[in-house]
Amino acid sequence: MLASAWSDLVRGAVDRRHGFHVPVVASIGLDGAPSARTVVLRRVLPESCELHFHTDLRGPKVAELARDPRVSWTFYDAGRKLQLRVAAVAEVHATGARADEAWARSAPSSRRCYLAPAAPGAQCDAVSPNLPEALRMRVPTVEESLAGRVNFALVATRVTAIDWLHLASEGHERARFERGADGLWSGCWCEP
Ligand SMILES: Cc1cc2nc3c(=O)[nH]c(=O)nc-3n(C[C@H](O)[C@H](O)[C@H](O)COP(=O)(O)O)c2cc1C
């Protein structure tokens, strides 16, 4: 089951139509309140138990993760009625080889949002797409997209526990897996 959960996560990262492609990831707000948002699952590395998303370095969640790196991911595949709740610890990479590699793997269409002139979440006087005028209606060229690199961050999260829940009319099934300090996983059934 654990291996199958990881292979579902891997598929979720590569298949845009998979239910796991746009999960919710929650961090702990600077005021201590939960802070959850939808993200795109960009990459899954089962060997190192990592789940990745990309974000704008100027956004509030980056400061939240610097203060407390614990996150909780929620994935739901409606077709298979399968929920995974994944506890993990985040590391934000704005520079260095890992961030450079993630940037290199990003298409110009994905890079466009990093060309936003203002920080995400900044108050504005009127509704605004927060994009340069010239790029409102089109994808940047690779050359144009490069200016967004400075705002780009890879958030690599290392999984510590997975709560697996399958809904079924004949009875729901739930299991919990934890990764010990030695890197080994243990698991048990639990009541749904
Ligand atoms: C379908 C969808 C995908 C999104 N993907 C991302 C993403 O990959 N990274 C990201 O930072 N924000 C993404 N967002 C926007 C976030 O949900 C959120 O609004 C934004 O990051 C601001 O969050 P913050 O104020 O907590 O930093 C996505 C939103 C939607 C609706």
Q: For residue 28, what are the domain limits? A: 2-106+149-189
| Number of folded domains that form the chain | 1
- Give the burial string for 111-144 (b: 16+ CB within 10 Å, else e): bbbbbbeeebeeeeeeeeeeeeeebeeeebeeeb
Centre of ligand 1 to C-alpha 54, Å, is 9
pLDDT digits (tens, 9 = 90+) for 38-63: 999 999 999 999 999 999 999 999 99
State residue 188's pLDDT score.
97
3-state helix, strand, coil in the chain (%, to 5): 30, 35, 40
Question: Considering the domain boundaries, does residue 24 fall inside one?
Answer: yes
Q: What is the per-residue pLDDT for 132?
A: 95
Domain presence at residue 138: no
Question: Does residue 115 fall inside a structural domain?
Answer: no
Could you read off the pLDDT of 75-111 as tens digits, one per residue?
999 999 999 999 999 999 999 999 999 999 999 999 9
- The pLDDT of residue 180 is 96
Is residue 95 situated within a structural domain?
Answer: yes
Report the pLDDT value the prediction gives residue 61, as an integer from 0 to 100. Answer: 97
For residue 164, being part of any structural domain is answered with yes
pLDDT (0 to 100) of residue 64: 98
**Residue 19 pLDDT level (bands cut at 50, 70, 90):** very high
Residue 123 forms part of a structural domain:
no
Could you tell which of 25, 37, 62, 151 is best to mutate to test the pocket of ligand 1, judged by most ligand atoms within 8 Å of the CB?
37
Tell whether ligand 1 has an atom less than 6 A from the beta carbon of residue 93: no
pLDDT, tens digit, 9 for 90 and up, residues 127-184 = 999 999 999 999 999 999 999 999 999 999 999 999 999 999 999 999 999 999 999 9
Whether 122 lines ligand 1, by a CB cut-off of 6 Å, is no
Closest CA to 76 of 23, 2, 138: 23
CATH number of the domain at 52, please: 2.30.110.10
State whether the beta carbon of 40 lies less than 6 angstroms from ligand 1.
yes
